[in-house]
A = this chain, B = another copy of it.
Amino acid sequence: MADRYQKLTSRPAGAFVARRLGLPRPAGLERYRPGQPVARGPVVLGGAAGGRMHKTLRELLESAGAEVLPAEAAAGAGPSVPAGSLVFDATGIDSSARLRALYDFLHPRIRALAPCGRVVVVGTPPEHAAGGPGEAAAQRALEGFVRSVGKELRDGSTAHLLLVAPGAEGGLESTLRFALSARSAYVSGQALRVTGTAPVPATADWERPLAGKTALVTGASRGIGAVVAGTLHRDGAHVVCLDVAAQAAGLRAVADRIGGGALELDITAADAGDRLAGYLDEHHGGVDVVVHNAGVTRDKTLGRMSADQWEAVIGVNLTAVETLTARLLDSGLLRGGGRVVCTSSISGIAGNVGQTNYAASKAGLIGYVQAAAPAAAARGVTVNAVAPGFVETRMTAAVPLVIREAGRRMNSLKQGGLPVDVAEAVAYFAAPGSGAVTGQVLRVCGQALLGA
Contact = CB atoms under 8 A, between A and B. Distances in A.
Contacts of A450: 449-451
A17 interface: no
B349 A311 contact: no
Interface stretch (A221-229, A231-239, A298-306): A298-306
A110 interface: yes
B310 A368 contact: no
Contacts of A141: 314, 318, 360-361, 363-364, 367
Interface in A335-357: 347-357
Nearest to A307: B103
A97 interface: yes
Contact of A451 (B139, B350, B361): B350
Given A97-B319, A136-B367, A136-B370, A351 B144 contact: yes
Contacts of A311: 100
Contacts of A140: 363-364, 366-368, 370
Nearest to A452: B451
A136 B322 CA distance: 11
A363 B145 contact: yes
Interface of A, secondary structure class, is: helix
Interface stretch (A148-156, A174-182, A246-254): A148-156
Interface in A88-116: 95-97, 99-100, 103-104, 106-107, 110-111
A408 B131 CA distance: 40
A134 interface: yes
Nearest to A150: B351
Contacts of A452: 143, 147, 189, 451-452
B138 A302 contact: no
Contact of A144 (B103, B310, B361): B361
A416 interface: no
Contacts of A144: 347-349, 351, 359-364
A398 to B, nearest CB: 20
Central interface residue in A147, A314, A354, by most chain B CB within 10 Å? A147
A129 interface: yes
A399 interface: no
Nearest to A319: B96
A278 interface: no
A103 B356 CA distance: 9
A126 interface: yes
Contacts of A95: 319
B148 A364 contact: no
Given A96-B361, A133-B322, 20 more contacts: A95-B319, A99-B364, A100-B311, A107-B302, A107-B305, A111-B303, A127-B370, A129-B371, A136-B367, A138-B367, A141-B318, A144-B364, A147-B351, A147-B452, A148-B347, A149-B302, A150-B351, A151-B351, A449-B450, A451-B452
13 contacts: A96-B322, A96-B361, A97-B319, A99-B364, A100-B311, A111-B303, A127-B371, A129-B371, A132-B371, A144-B349, A144-B364, A148-B360, A152-B354
